[in-house]
Chain A
Amino acid sequence: MSEVLPPPAPKTAIIRDCGPEGCEVDWLTSRTVVTEVDDVAEFTRFAMDEGWGDGLPLIPPTVERVRAFLAEGGRYPDELIATLPPMQTECTVEKIVINAVMAGAPPETLPLLCAAVEAIADPRFDIGGLNATTGSVVPLLVVNGPIRDVFDIPYQHGCFGGAATLANAAARTLRLLMRNIGGQQLGVSSESVFGNPGRIAGIMMGEWEERSPWKPLAERRGVPGNAVTVYGAMGTMNILDITSHSGPEFLESIGRSLAYPGCNNFSPAVAFGEAMVAINPVWAEIIGRDVPDIADVQEMIWRHASLPLDAFQKRLADSIVAAGRVQADGRVYLTPTPDDVLVYVCGGTGSLHAHGVHSWGTCLSATKAVR
């Protein structure tokens, strides 16, 4: 049972003296609906009917809950964070908060959520293409800075998925925003053939900066301190190595493993792409000892993440040649330059594995400060 109420009258004056909670001023401008709010299962069914849901339980975004979240989050609800294609719809703080309430995210994650929205809306990231593609790409978030611990963002064991933390609700919020504001709907605006487990509730982790021999990923990308980096991830790929002993050996193992003919990056239809590598802290220590400069680390992975032309089927090889992708050494490289290989440290201390994350294509990673 629900009743749709008319939208509130547009406000002619916004007074900020009273702070984000608004005092007597009604800041909220979203359409309101009267419905069941005590029973999560009942509300979830209602939300699914409205097209708001992701299939998991949703907390009713009551006016009271949204106001409380805003008051704690400390941001004004009418602040425009980004305009998201393809609908060019406005993602305001109010919309972020409503979706965060539904996902169960803690109010203190609001600055992180705003930064993440800024990142996915960066034109470099091509969120419009990512939303529509037949590929299985999903935004993967890497968080740097002290907020990792404040928000309990996983960066050790199982950081790619499985950690029991409220940070998961923040990641889920971004997925809801991509549905509800970005308009990503399977079979309507998204043609993803297989989807991706990360499309359910997102992928978000931190970097284990304290165990990294190199500067934090975001700082290397020009944003020191609290920051979030978004990367278009096609999925994760395990790289097991129980035989290497030195940094160069591990990097060769990682690079060789990343290069396979069916990877999007090798397609002549993809103008360029990136690659991401998560290195466990044990390997990171060994690699950092032998290869202290991160630029050399990237270069060594990049050099090995390449294939000779005869590794491709003839028709594909012909297209690669026609696209001018074969370098002077007769090899085809996964990314245009070593800089396009993103390396960071995370994961458990059990060692043995690296995680490769292939990119979808021309959707380039973006890093934003969390303010």
Chain B
Amino acid sequence: MALGTVLDPSARRVDDIAHPGPPLGPLHGKTIGFRVDIMWRSWDWISALWAAELEAAGATVRFWRAGGRTGEEGARMAEGLKEFLGSIDAAIVGLGNCGSCTGWTIHDALAAAATDIPTIAIVTQNFDDLGHNLARRGGRSGLRIHVLPHPLNERAREEVEQVAREHYPRMLEAMDAAAGAAVSAGAAAA
């Protein structure tokens, strides 16, 4: 047996932001942006219900829908995302419900967090670890990630909306919304 010196074939990112970023605080008067996609109808249903709650609490809501991320459409998407992030005070970014869409959800959430607005990424349980791993690998381990049940998209709309109602106050709590925000919006947390 002979010892020798070998070189590490790997490369790792060392910088990290462990802080979750600014709190959401009061909802009234804020413009809150939902990043939706072309994949998950369940996320459309959930974000629509959450948007209604946020508007009832005095917030303004904007939506941005992500499509193809490469080629000419990808360039348009990158520009659209930049414009969207510049128009909102907080970002709710989903849905991580597959491998690549979790990748792009975290990518877009990191982009939002980099603009120093309150940000949360939404993933389903099966992709919880992936979301956190990608956030850490993206240099922001502290990114807020809220986890919905899995499987989700396979459920009927009524079931998905029940999930939305149950998770609305938890999502607000994870975003460090001002105390009582969910209650003031009349969210049915039961």
Assess whether A1 is interfacial by the CB under 8 Å rule.
Answer: yes
| Residue among B3, B7, B100 having the largest count of chain A Cβ atoms under 10 Å | B7
A105 CB, min distance to chain B CBs, angstroms: 13
| Residue among B2, B4, B134, B137 having the largest count of chain A Cβ atoms under 10 Å | B4
| Residue among A51, A269, A363 having the largest count of chain B Cβ atoms under 10 Å | A269
Q: Which of A16-24, A176-184, A212-220, A296-304 is found at the contact surface with chain B?
A: A176-184
Assess whether A244 is interfacial by the CB under 8 Å rule.
Answer: no
Q: Which of B10-18, B24-32, B54-62 is found at the contact surface with chain A?
A: B10-18
Contacts of B23 in A (CB 8 A): none
In the complex, A106→B5 CA distance in Å? Answer: 21
Contacts of A189 in B (CB 8 A): 130, 133-134, 137
B73 x A128 contact (CB < 8 A): no
Q: Which of A131-139, A140-148, A200-208, A277-285 is found at the contact surface with chain B?
A: A131-139
Contact A86/B11 with A36-B2, A269-B39, A362-B70 known, Cβ cut-off 8 Å: no
Assess whether B1 is interfacial by the CB under 8 Å rule.
Answer: yes
Query: Which listed residue (B9, B130, B138) contacts A95, Cβ 8 A?
Result: B9
B4 x A35 contact (CB < 8 A): yes
A1 CB, min distance to chain B CBs, angstroms: 7
A68 CB, min distance to chain B CBs, angstroms: 13
B103 x A129 contact (CB < 8 A): yes
Contacts of A271 in B (CB 8 A): 38, 67-68, 73
B69 x A129 contact (CB < 8 A): yes
In the complex, A94→B10 CA distance in Å? Answer: 11
Q: Which of A37-45, A109-117, A149-157, A233-241 is found at the contact surface with chain B?
A: A37-45
Contact A42/B1 with A135-B100, A191-B127 known, Cβ cut-off 8 Å: yes
Contact A34/B71 with A52-B10, A191-B127, A268-B38 known, Cβ cut-off 8 Å: no
Contacts of A94 in B (CB 8 A): 7
A-B Cβ contacts below 8 A, count: 164
Contacts of A33 in B (CB 8 A): 5-6, 8
Residue of A nearest to B78 (CB): A123
Assess whether B104 is interfacial by the CB under 8 Å rule.
Answer: yes
Contacts of A66 in B (CB 8 A): 7
Assess whether B46 is interfacial by the CB under 8 Å rule.
Answer: no
Q: Which of A57-65, A250-258, A345-353 is found at the contact surface with chain B?
A: A57-65
Q: How many residues of A contact B (CB 8 A)?
A: 66
Contact A272/B2 with A88-B139, A133-B100, A189-B130 known, Cβ cut-off 8 Å: no
Query: Which listed residue (B13, B70, B102, B137) contacts A125, Cβ 8 A?
Result: B70
A86 x B137 contact (CB < 8 A): yes
B99 x A30 contact (CB < 8 A): no
Assess whether A126 is interfacial by the CB under 8 Å rule.
Answer: yes
B3 x A362 contact (CB < 8 A): no
Assess whether A89 is interfacial by the CB under 8 Å rule.
Answer: yes
In the complex, A31→B14 CA distance in Å? Answer: 14
B3 x A191 contact (CB < 8 A): no
Assess whether B165 is interfacial by the CB under 8 Å rule.
Answer: no
| Residue among B8, B71, B126 having the largest count of chain A Cβ atoms under 10 Å | B8
A98 x B8 contact (CB < 8 A): yes
Contacts of A1 in B (CB 8 A): 3
B-contacting residues, A355-371, CB 8 Å:
361-364
Contacts of B10 in A (CB 8 A): 50-52, 180-181
Contact A37/B9 with A132-B130, A189-B133, A271-B73 known, Cβ cut-off 8 Å: no
Assess whether B74 is interfacial by the CB under 8 Å rule.
Answer: yes
In the complex, A1→B1 CA distance in Å? Answer: 10
B-contacting residues, A40-96, CB 8 Å:
42-43, 50-52, 60-63, 66, 85-91, 94-95
Closest 3 CB pairs of A and B: A271-B68, A37-B4, A191-B99
Listed in ascending order, the chain B residues whose CB lies under 8 Å from chain A are 1-13, 38-39, 67-71, 73-74, 98-100, 102-104, 106-107, 126-127, 129-130, 133-134, 137-139
20 A-B pairs within 8 Å (CB atoms) are namely A33-B5, A33-B6, A34-B5, A36-B1, A36-B2, A37-B2, A50-B10, A63-B7, A86-B106, A89-B12, A126-B70, A128-B103, A128-B107, A129-B99, A132-B100, A176-B9, A188-B133, A191-B99, A362-B74, A364-B70
